[in-house]
């Protein structure tokens, strides 16, 4: 019988809750972490492009 986990994560400022269910908790936490890094990377690119557009 497979084990499933229900998890609750929050952001740094504890203003948003992320909930989910998975059968591989360590993999899912890593996916969340990678997604956050990707979002930050894309946000930096957008800001850089906006700055270039202002020049």
Q: Which domain holds residue 33?
A: 25-55
Identify the pLDDT of residue 54: 67
Q: Is 9 part of a structural domain of the chain?
A: no
Greater model confidence, 44 or 14: 14
Q: What percent of the chain has pLDDT over 90?
A: 38
Asked whether 8 and 29 are in contact (CB, 8 A), the reply is no
Those residues with Cβ within 8 angstroms of residue 26's Cβ, 6 or more apart along the chain or in another chain = none
Q: Is 14 part of a structural domain of the chain?
A: no
What are the tens digits of pLDDT across the range 17-43? 989 999 999 998 898 888 877 777 777
Q: Is 10 part of a structural domain of the chain?
A: no
pLDDT score of 8 more than 80: yes
Q: Is 20 part of a structural domain of the chain?
A: no
Identify the pLDDT of residue 11: 83
| Domain count within the chain | 1
Asked whether 4 and 21 are in contact (CB, 8 A), the reply is yes
Q: Is 50 part of a structural domain of the chain?
A: yes
């Amino acid at each position: 019988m497979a084990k499933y986990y229900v998890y609750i994560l929050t952001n740094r400022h504890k203003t948003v809750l992320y909930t989910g269910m998975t059968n591989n908790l360590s993999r899912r936490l890593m996916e969340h972490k990678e997604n956050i890094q990707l979002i930050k990377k894309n946000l930096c690119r957008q800001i850089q492009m906006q700055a270039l557009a202002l020049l």
